[in-house]
Structure 1
Amino acid sequence: MKFDLHVHTYYSDGILSPAELIDLAVKQNLQGIAITDHDTILGLNEAIVYSKKYDNFKVIPGIEFGSVYEDEEVHILGYFIDYNDEELISVTKNLRHDRINRAIKMINNLNRLDIDVTIDDVRKHSGNDYIGRPHIARALIDKGYVGSIEESFEKYLNRGKPGYAERFHLSIEDTISLIKKSGGIAILAHPGLIKNKSIVEYTISKGIQGIECIHSKHTAEDTDYFIKLAKKKNLIVTGGSDYHGDLVRGELIFGKYFINIEEIPEMRGRLYNV
């Protein structure tokens, strides 16, 4: 059973609605997906209800949290979370609110660089009580300041760049704990993008349960290395596209990066409850 365990909807920084994403997943011959929007669970019930129109297709309720450790962003995925958990609802609401405040700070930083972009320009690309850096990037593209989301991040929006502003992050330990307390499985996202690889070992020491070994931005060497590491540490091997709705270098990556969920007993048995 082919599952893409890392996709985003317009409830965070994706482009597609949950329904559009599920329809596309079926067309791409996937048997299931995990919706892992950043810091929000708002689209999960909608997605799971809509998925019932298809026989033999499953949506795993998920989330993607961002932490910072040793000045690097570390993303942690949670699978099979209870999205009715009161603590999870409260924490994600606060995180979404802080993202909006951070966006305003970043827009002010850009304005000081004589870049004419407003919160209204950004909101044209966002919705559902959420603003992320890709929304600011798309506004910069609209105004002609950059030609791509990648250029936006490289020039202005990455950590250390002139438009960047910090936001509140849960610690790695608190993120893993919150996921587990809500009944979920905690997985380290795209470790190939982490520059300081000792951080990977740190997350393992703090109780991470698996590694996203297969990812659209991993090299073949990355994939091979992290599969071997996961097996050595007796951790779950997962994979996904990290699809946001955009084409990547003119290609649709959705459907090309997946895992056979039948090979993950910790997940396979829980599919019947979603």
Structure 2
Amino acid sequence: MSFDLHTHSMVSDGTEPPAEVVAAAKRAGLRGLALTDHDTTAGWTAAIEAAQALQLVLIPGMEITTRTDDGISVHLLSYLHDPAHVGLMDAIATARGGRVERAKRICERLAEDFPITWEIVVEHVGPDATIGRPHLADAMVAVGVVADRSEAFAKYLHPGTKYYVSQENITPIEAIRLVRDAGGVPVIAHAMASARGRTVSVPQLEQMVEAGLAGVEVWHRDNPEPGRRLLLDLAARHDLIATGSSDYHGTGKPNRIGENSSPTSVVERIISEATGSPAYGRL
């Protein structure tokens, strides 16, 4: 009776439509999943319909792009918020616009050394999808610069390369408060993923808890064991929700759906704290 609470579809940077992500969860033997595309809820309807057809539980969600005052990228998972909440949607619209400008700037830098154009990048972005670095990686694969997304990130798209461009976003504190205002349940994603770049400190995590952080994604392949222990300690001290998730992107990442998961008790607690949107399906 396990649930994967962090998955992506073509509505952001996954490689499959929302319905296929749900089907993948069914094939993996999961009881349910959360669809958490980057800075958008556009895939909710299709995912809900697919989950109902396959008799799975669907937790509508979103992964919000944020940035601390000292420049650390933080991704915040929001579960069961009101998708029409004006303040949250305004912030997301700003984030989506910032993603486009950032992608264009990275593309310009890549074009100095490789046969990459913005038109090629756009060919790999689904209709109304949230654009991100994975789409730039797909363009690099298409023109033969790299073999896959993983190689593109390892060599050219990670922080520290001359091609990388940071993005201005709302802070995690602001995002947490907006999610709570929208009736959602905010959980920080892969907070100790040091291989991705700088990670937040314990004092910063404590500030997020004070702002209303509900949980921490502990069991994620990018969280090393010491980081997991730190997050579990934080969760124990503040009675936070501790989740496990895959961060599934279809063929866009090696992450397998359900490779880390959460029990029914965790999903029940998320549902009990939410007032913005319902879960779909019977636990």
**TM-score, normalising length: structure 1:** 0.89
Q: 1:150 to 1:190 in 2, by over 3 A?
A: same
Which of 258, 268, 274 is matched with 2:261 structurally? 258
CA contact under 8 A between 1:4 and 1:32: conserved in structure 2?
yes
Identical-pair percentage: 31
Q: Please tell me the residue identity of whatever aligns with 1:151.
A: E
Written as runs of structure 1 = structure 2, the 5 A alignment for 1:167-182 is 167-182=167-182
CA contact under 8 A between 1:247 and 1:253: conserved in structure 2?
no
Give the equivalent residue in structure 2 for 1:119. 118
CA contact under 8 A between 1:44 and 1:83: conserved in structure 2?
no
Q: Please tell me the residue identity of whatever aligns with 2:122.
A: R
Cα deviation, residue 168, structure 1: 3.0
Question: Aligned equivalents of 1:261 and 1:228: distance in 2?
Answer: 21
Question: Aligned equivalents of 2:82 and 2:127: distance in 1?
Answer: 20
Cα deviation, residue 209, structure 1: 1.3
CA displacement 1:139-188 (0-9 Å, x = unmatched): 11222222332332233322332112233311111110111111100111
Give the equivalent residue in structure 2 for 1:211. 216
CA-atom RMSD, angstroms?
A: 2.2
CA displacement 1:232-268 (0-9 Å, x = unmatched): 221111121001112755xx62122100032454225
Structure 2: which 5+ runs fail to align?
none
Question: Aligned equivalents of 2:179 and 2:264: distance in 1?
Answer: 20
Give the equivalent residue in structure 2 for 1:87. 87
CA displacement 1:188-230 (0-9 Å, x = unmatched): 1112215343333342343311111111222344334422321
Question: Aligned equivalents of 1:272 and 1:63: distance in 2?
Answer: 14
Deviates more, 1:26-35 or 1:200-209: 200-209
CA displacement 1:74-117 (0-9 Å, x = unmatched): 111101111132333333233222212221111111123x2110
CA contact under 8 A between 2:271 and 2:279: conserved in structure 1?
no
Q: 1:215 to 1:230 in 2, by over 3 A?
A: same
1:245 aligns with 2:250: yes
Q: Please tell me the residue identity of whatever aligns with 1:216.
A: R
CA contact under 8 A between 1:7 and 1:35: conserved in structure 2?
yes
Give the equivalent residue in structure 2 for 1:68. 67
Structure 1: which 5+ runs fail to align?
none
SS of 2:23's equivalent?
helix
SS of 2:139's equivalent?
helix
Give the equivalent residue in structure 2 for 1:145. 145
Q: 1:156 to 1:248 in 2, by over 3 A?
A: closer
Give the equivalent residue in structure 2 for 1:228. 233
Cα deviation, residue 272, structure 1: 6.4
Deviates more, 1:206-215 or 1:225-234: 225-234
Question: Aligned equivalents of 1:273 and 1:106: distance in 2?
Answer: 38
Q: 1:44 to 1:71 in 2, by over 3 A?
A: same
Q: Please tell me the residue identity of whatever aligns with 1:39.
A: D
**TM-score, normalising length: structure 2:** 0.87
Number of residue equivalences? 270
Deviates more, 1:136-145 or 1:146-155: 146-155
CA contact under 8 A between 1:188 and 1:203: conserved in structure 2?
no
CA contact under 8 A between 1:2 and 1:261: conserved in structure 2?
yes
Q: Which has the higher contact order (CA 8 A, sep 6+)?
A: 2
Q: Please tell me the residue identity of whatever aligns with 1:24.
A: A
